[in-house]
A = this chain, B = another copy of it.
Amino acid sequence: MNIVISNASDTPIYAQIVECICREIANGALREGDMMPSIRSLAKDLSVSVITTKKAYEQLEARGYIETRAGKGSFVSARSGALALEHKISGMEQHLLAAIDISRELGMNADELKQRLDALFGEV
């Protein structure tokens, strides 16, 4: 697992943790059934409050990525992989839609937009 937190970021710490863990699940670094680090040990590792890691885990559980059992720990849920994939695709489509929206306001047509996309795809 590889979680990096920035205090300077404007996104809350617990949200950063959520994102990192979602990414690890999407990457396959965390797999279905795996045990998550305990909220306390993760808090220690990241030098944040236990409450902060707990909040992150609560969000992950609410979204269905993990399942938590008192006294046992938290585990990556069976449907986590599918959820992560779904989330990724919908995120991509939202960005595309937003770009399309703006391109329309700029008076661009589909071809001009695709040309732009091509240029950016090559650059990176």
Contacts and interface: CB of A to CB of B under 8 A. Distances in A.
B117 A89 contact: no
B88 A92 contact: no
Contacts of A104: 124
Contacts of A114: 114, 117-118
Contacts of A10: 69
A4 interface: no
A7 interface: yes
Given A95-B95, A106-B88, A100 B117 contact: yes
A105 B26 contact: yes
The 4 A-B residue pairs with the shortest CB-CB distance, nearest first, are A95-B99, A92-B102, A95-B98, A95-B95
